[in-house]
Each structure stands twice: as C-alpha cells, then as structure tokens.
Amino acid sequence: MSIPRLKHCFRLAVLAFAVTPLAAPVLSIAQSAPLWVGTWATAPMVADGGNNMRPFSGTTLREIVHISAGGAQIRVRFTNAYGTDPLTISDAHVALSAGNAAIQPGTDHAITFGGATSVNIPPGAELFSDPVALAVQPLSDLVVSFYLPSQVMRAETFHSFADQDNFIASGDVSSAADLPGAIKIFSWYFLDGVDVQAVDGSRAIVTLGDSITDGALSTHNANLRWPDLLAARVQADPNLKNIGVLNVGIGGNRVLNEVAGPSALSRIDRDVLSQSGVRYVIILESINDIGRLAHLTNPYDDITAQQLEMGLKQIADAAHEHGIKAIGATLTPYGGAGYSSDKGEQVREAVNDWIRNSGTFDGVADFDKATQDPANPTHFNAAYDSGDHLHPKDDGYKAMAGSIDLTMFAK
C-alpha cells in the first residue's frame, strides 16, 4: 500500500474516532491549519517501455519545476508509485534555477531523509524529504537534482509530458553549478511534489484533468498551461496569495477507462485527496472518453453521458467527504478534431449541461463558453485554437484561466 493511501486511511480513521467522547483532541488536530501546503505537483504514471524506459544507473537527474505559492522552507516528494523494485536515491539537492540546467549561486541545499543523505523508497510508495531551509518566491523555478546509484529498476515512475527541459548526466553531479553537455529529456522521473511551509490562509487547488490541463501544445519551457496562468492570477490577488495550484493532468486521461495513465477514478486518493493542504479540486475530464465514440473498437468505450456524469460525481463526492470543494469544468469544444463525431458532440453537450445545472459541484469553470467560437460553438474560437481543434494554444489557455471566478477560492 502506498504512502498516499495510508494517509487516506488515516483520515478515515480520524473520522471514525470522532464519534466517541474521547475523540475531541484527535478531531481538533485534524482540523488544525496545515503545516505544509502543495506548491507544485504532477501525476505519476508507469514508464511503459520504448524511450520512456531509461538506464538510470550511476546517473544524476536534474529536474526543473515551476512552483505556485512561495514559502520560508520547502520539502520535496519523491515517488516509486509504479516501481516493482525498491528505488534508491542519494545525494539529492534543491536550488533556485538560473535557467537551463544551471543553478543560482549560493542557493544549493542538500536534501535529507530522516537526517540521511540516501533513502530507499519501497515499490508503490511515495516519500517526503526533511524540511529544507530554502526560501522560495511565488511563481519561481526550482532545480531538484538527485543521484541514482547502480540498482535494479524493472519499472519506472514518471510523468511523461513535462513541457519542460530536464536533464540527465553521468555520475554524481547533483551539486554542480551547471551540467554542460547533459542530455535533455522532457519528462519528470521519480519526482511528483513540492510543498512549502504553510502560513495563515494556506490552501491548495488541485487541477485534475487530461492533456488540456497538462498543457499540451502550449509553449515549451514557458509555463503557460492554464493551471500556471491560474496560479499567476491567484498570486496577483493579495487575498489569495497563499494558495498553491497543483497540476495533476495526464495526457490522454479518461474518467472511466485506462489508456494513458491511471483513470481519473482510480487516482483520486493519491493525486487529489492526499495533496498537502488541498481545499479545492477543479475537474476537467471526459473529452478522451467521448473521443472514443468516433472509432469504437471496444464495447467498454461506448460511453454514455450518464456514465460520465456518474464518474464525475464519484470524484466530487470523494472530495466533499474530505472537506474539499469540487469545481466542475465544462469540456472545451472539439469540433474538427481527429476523433470528433456527432454522437460525441451530443454527449459533450449533455455532460456540460449537467456540470452547469446538476448542483453536483460547488462552482463551475465554464471553459466551453470561454473558448468557443460564438458563431460556431462546437468549435474553438480561431484565436484560441492550436490548430488541431482539440487543444488550445497559449491564448486559449489564458482565456481558460481568465474565465475562472476567483471568489470560489475565498476562505
């Protein structure tokens, strides 16, 4: 059982004890302000062969992450969620980015685990580092470097689409000021979260979705995914500046069936409920389920609007059970996309109507209205279309983030 699921079980245990007269102190602790709040996250997946499987043995990984909220210190979460062997990480470091693979002078900090410089993460587990006394500014880039000594890894955990340059170098060079000649990769391996020390008003928004949330076809290395742009809007509001925005989108993700990464239903515990300080989840899922209706090859893919609504309601209900507000995001237009169909469009419109009007959600982010062509609402506004008629371009992501009512995140 992975660490996040243990956390989930602990929360359930707290609720169970709350019915007894002796439970008041436990309930008080559970309701206290968080010590940590998420500032960056990604959704782990299994590396499924081909170029995704890499010989990480005697190599250093240097990975760049764009955080949302700032803080006086941080902690880093490493993951072996899909590993079938233990994962050994040693000589890990974190620093402020100076661009590309370089770090800002004087900012390098060693990462420890219970005071040790090396850690063994069991298969299926995720693990936080000790606190690191590195003050970080909102919307800044961090460099997380760690050495992978020679070891057996028959399965690897990663996030396939980082939309960000990351780096591999030979040997233990985790503390190096730069990595000239390092190999560029475009995924995050073994790293899926960064928290900052919480302050008054700290809380986090999780954005659960597919490639549109993951930022597909946004400008590479520019942090123009709609969750990034939402984080920038939040930071510009003095009343919301202590809110983190966590992106757990997976390209190709579906609500009910698995095709690219675990289904949305199967990853609620780890990717949403177990995030530090989470108070809100924005759910943008279903377009890949709907797309399968254009070329049915599996009877399980013959999805109805009612089935999708049931799946989305399961996510919202799980959030509500843990005191998290669920915000439904309407599905953006996909007319003209490679897997669009008349049947799929009928389902998309029905699901969007349900998101807006069913009362299931605590709020709605109407991305459909924000990005559609007013004269042809089944299609993107041309100013927002990346060209594939499925994914927005940068201006489209900006329109999505700009359409979100920030009052939904008031305390």
User: What residues form DSSP beta bridges with 360?
Assistant: none
Helix (H) and strand (E) counts for the chain? 10, 22
Taking residues 251-259, report their average pLDDT: 91
Pairwise pLDDT comparison (22 vs 120), residue with the higher score: 120
Amino acid 194 reads V
Residue 180 CA from chain centroid, whole number: 29
Position 192 pLDDT exceeds 70: yes
Position 210 pLDDT exceeds 50: yes
First-residue to last-residue Cα distance in the chain: 33
Taking residues 76-89, report their average pLDDT: 95
Q: What is the largest CA-CA distance in the chain?
A: 63
Task: Give the H or E element holding residue 76.
Answer: strand 74-79
Instruction: Please tell me the distance from the alpha carbon of residue 352 to that of residue 109, in angstroms, as a whole number.
Output: 47
Confidence of residue 337 (pLDDT cuts 50, 70, 90): very high
Position 29 pLDDT exceeds 70: no
DSSP code at position 12: H
DSSP code at position 271: I
CB 411 within 8 A of CB 201: yes
Give the architecture (CATH level 2) of 200-409.
Answer: 3-Layer(aba) Sandwich (3.40)
Residue 368 CA from chain centroid, whole number: 21
CB 379 within 8 A of CB 335: yes
Position 223 pLDDT exceeds 60: yes
Q: What is the pTM of this model?
A: 0.91
CB 179 within 8 A of CB 173: yes
Instruction: Please tell me the distance from the alpha carbon of residue 138 to that of residue 240, in angstroms, as a whole number.
Output: 12
Position 143 pLDDT exceeds 90: yes
